[in-house]
Amino acid sequence: MSAAAVKGAKGAAGKTMSGAEMIVEVLAQQGVDTVFGYSGGAILPTYDAVLRHNTAAGNSKLRLVVPANEQGAGFMAAGYARASGRPGALIVTSGPGATNTVTPIRDCMADSIPLVMISGQVPRAAIGTDAFQEAPVFNIMTACAKHVFLVKEPEELEATMRTAFEIATTGRPGPVVIDVPKDVQNWMGQYQGTGTLSLRGYRERQEDLASRRMEKEQAKEFFAQLAKSERPLIYAGGGVIAGNAAKELRAFAKAFGIPVVTTLMGIGSVSTTDPLSMRMLGMHGAAFANYAVDDCDFLMAVGSRFDDRVAGKVKEFAQNAKFIAHIDIDAAEIGKVKAVDWSWVGQAKVGLADLTAYGRNFKKSFTPWQKHCKALKAEHPMNYDRNSPLIQPYRVLEELNVITKGDAIVTTGVGQHQMWAAQYCDFQKERTWITSGSMGTMGFGLPAAIGAQLACPGKTVIDVDGDGSIRMNLGELETLTTYDVPVKVLLLNNLGDGMVRQWQKMYFGNRFSGTDKSLHKKDFVRAAEADGFGFAKRVTENAAVRKTLEKFIEFDGPALLEVMIDPDAGVYPMVGPGSSYREMTTGDWIKPRANVEAVAEEEATDPGAMPDLF
């Protein structure tokens, strides 16, 4: 929260103002500098209040970004929150304006992203009459959000706004929806400048979580088991990012020399270039990461939830681990999917810091295991057909990686391009990898990149997208040029829904139902030019990839580069749904483990470096 915002809010205390003006005052008080949304009849008083707030002398300005569609606004707010760690803010109208945000609200809930959405509603007297542009927002959003408010008492509006930000950002973060009838926005009352709703039970739980520290007996038990281990592995998830615990995770891993695998949402919690990083595990995780999971004898899950795309066949996930530990802020995640032997519920950054401090005299070396993990990376690296005359998407991302050195913010849509970016791009810091994880929402990448760029104006922001995914919110290309947001859109075009086609090839006998005539007529370069892009180019030859990528990144302003890639390029490795890591398909170019005998032979030559696999 900025000092100017706080000063402005306190200065307004005692003044008579409308409910709409109170909404804007609380946004300013909470330090919000950017709001995303689309206007309409039921929210017009609040939009008018935004304009009047911004033109009044001495007020902090609320930048208003209007998208092509409310779904785009929701993903922009989410991208802003994911990149900055601050709650995103979203203002939409009633009816279709609110229902268009259901997907981004559910997406934020699934990935634990803090967001506050304000939706207009028909006047209180008209609720339930099927009034024009009425929708049961409270009923719909209750199933999708962390919490929903329908403001029926105007006197509670101001306190409700502050409480929404509190709920969105405390404990396990998530989206909060405030549905505000139009007559409540027009109501006149005295602004208090302070105060929240009474949430005794919730606050008691959050205060308990915030004050919780690792007890010495728990830490002692943890290190007693770690001392018995020869092959410990950290399995870090999105909770590390959401809980701002990346610094503590890196310190813990370094202090005890423990390799780290991350989930899709945990990418960036440790630098992918760190020697201890084993990159991403799971359905499309690196082969060496999944082999490390198979080999470990001690698994420490931090801010991760044993998702089906990670655990696969749950019984066989990390089946050689004799001890599983789990740190999470949500007690409901402990033992939900996989039984664990040790757990601690609280803030990950606190738990990790306490463990690191307690274990300062822990001296056991895991050098043989580190060497084994290094050998896994050397033996089973990511790879592809490097001699193909067709442009391989992997090569495009490798070249991009050389240019950005892992320092750019990368957003993605959902599909093959998403997994390729996760596999082939480096990420030096947290909050530089922004993607739709649990919901897997196509159309996420472009609007999320806009939000991320506005949150981090000094950073290079690249939307790595696919032709199917970008179509979902293609209208936001115009938002980029309207607001001169210098996002770089890298479009990997394989003329179809590549991930769906890959599954149809592998599991449905090449029956391309729904993808046999997928949309492929769009000229994306012309579309970008029509929206005012100064840089919009297409690459069709391998020889032009590197040089064009460099010009694309260097361009001062919004830019689109469409690369026509091999339509048959697949995402490998792949662990089929419900399968174990031992059933992983590595494709034609990634070397799998030879056979069980070879693994057993390696174990016999270095018993301290390998587990009892069978």
d(CA 496, CA 467): 7
User: How many C-beta atoms surround the C-beta of residue 314 within 10 A?
Assistant: 16
Tell how strand 34-38 and strand 88-92 pair up: parallel
Strand bridging mode 232-236 / 298-302: parallel
* Residues classed as catalytic: 70, 132-133, 182, 499
Instruction: List the strands of the sheet with 260-262, edge to edge.
Output: 277-280, 260-262, 232-236, 298-302, 323-328, 342-345
Cβ neighbours of residue 103 closer than 8 Å, sequence gap 6 or more: 71, 74, 439, 441
For residue 70, CA distances in Å to 119, 342, 486 come to: 11, 44, 21
| Entry field: residues in the chain | 614
As given in the structure block, the two tokens for residue 123 are 């006047």
Report the side by side order of strands in the sheet with 535-539.
Answer: 433-434, 409-412, 461-466, 488-493, 559-564, 535-539
Task: Tell me how far apart the alpha carbons of residues 503 and 486 are, in angstroms, rounded to a whole number.
Answer: 35
**Burial group, residue 612, by CB count within 10 angstroms (0-12, 13-18, 19+):** exposed
> Residue 529: what are its φ and ψ, rounded to 5°?
-60, -40
C-alpha span between 93 and 79 (Å, rounded): 21
**Residues 6 or more apart in contact with residue 507 via CB below 8 angstroms:** 576
Q: 338: which DSSP letter? A: S
Count Cβ atoms below 10 Å from residue 203 Cβ, excluding itself.
Answer: 15
3-state secondary structure of 148: strand
For the purposes of burial, counting CB atoms within 10 Å of the CB of 287, is it exposed (0-12), middle (13-18) or buried (19 or more)?
A: buried
11 half-sphere exposure, CB direction, 13 A CA radius: 11
Identify which of 266, 276, 277 has the alpha carbon closest to the alpha carbon of residue 240: 266
Question: Could you tell me the sign of the dihedral formed by the alpha carbons of 246, 248, 250, 256, in that order?
Answer: negative
3-state secondary structure of 323: strand
- List of E strands, 273-349: 277-280, 298-302, 323-328, 342-345
Reduced to 3 states (helix: H, G, I; strand: E, B; else coil), residue 563 is strand
d(CA 128, CA 130) in angstroms, rounded, equals 6
- What CA–CA distance (Å, rounded) separates 493 from 506? 21
Both tokens of residue 576? 């089929």
Cis peptide before 573 (omega within 30 of 0): yes
| 3 state SS of 216 | helix
Question: Which candidate, 143, 141, 210, places its Cα nearest to that of 179?
Answer: 141
Measured between alpha carbons, how far is 245 from 269 in angstroms, rounded to an integer?
8
Determine the 3-state secondary structure of 222 from DSSP.
helix
